[in-house]
Chains A and B, each alone.
Chain A
């Protein structure tokens, strides 16, 4: 898919663990792991908002567009 999730990179920058983010965002660990590994086909604005708030970042920091060749 052309949209790549960069949550792992942002989490590493903020030195935040999956469990910590899970608690702050209010999403199950398993689901957050799916976002981290890019195993989701869509993400709600409310989820994105919660993640951005917890990590103090912009949606663009988490989502990246890469043209398919």
Chain B
């Protein structure tokens, strides 16, 4: 029991750190997006978004674009890439929050407390949604970006037919099965508590 409590505590700290990182990254991403929208035309040079510091040094914000691309096209690309990253970060934040709720009874040494199985099932829903929606959004944004940039080479590589992550589905099924094990555990715990 002590080992479980210790492990749950460690996992909780990791999940908390991940949650904070995802929120901070999301804030940075939002700030970067706002900055990109208002970036002056002269900051875009040879397919790179550069910011010249007062010391004369250049700070490269984004690089590797086709030199022929306009500011609008680069902005559109950066924005759609940011939306994709934001969705992933939001899902990571939600996932860690749901996961931390599962750890609460385990930290207290009561893994079969009433409601734990429902929380695990909720986490299973999240894993399933993440595996489907994550890939779907990635493929949509990929296609949208390519259309916006209108580059034939990239268009050929873009495909709207998204692939469901099989790993994610298997993980979700395993989580669902674990939730049923926990439901049985809750039932046994209830019986044990009612036995005097």
Q: Which residues of A contact B (CB under 8 A)?
A: 27, 31, 34-35, 40-44, 47
- Considering only CB atoms, which chain B residue lies closest to A34 in the complex? B196
Interface size on B, residues (CB 8 A): 4
Is B55 engaged at the interface, CB distance under 8 Å to the other chain? Answer: no
- Considering only CB atoms, which chain A residue lies closest to B195 in the complex? A42
> What mask results when residues 30 to 52 of chain B are scored 1 for a CB within 8 Å of chain A, else 0?
00000000000000000000000
CA distance A43 to B191 in the complex (A): 11
> What mask results when residues 181 to 196 of chain B are scored 1 for a CB within 8 Å of chain A, else 0?
0000000000100111
CA distance A47 to B194 in the complex (A): 13
Chain A hits for B196, CB < 8 A: 27, 31, 34-35, 40, 42-44, 47
Q: How far is the CB of B188 from chain A (nearest CB, A)?
A: 12
Chain A hits for B194, CB < 8 A: 40-42
Q: How far is the CB of B189 from chain A (nearest CB, A)?
A: 12
Chain A hits for B191, CB < 8 A: 41-42
Chain B hits for A27, CB < 8 A: 196
CA distance A44 to B194 in the complex (A): 11
Chain B hits for A42, CB < 8 A: 191, 194-196
- Considering only CB atoms, which chain A residue lies closest to B190 in the complex? A41
- Considering only CB atoms, which chain B residue lies closest to A46 in the complex? B196
Chain B hits for A31, CB < 8 A: 196
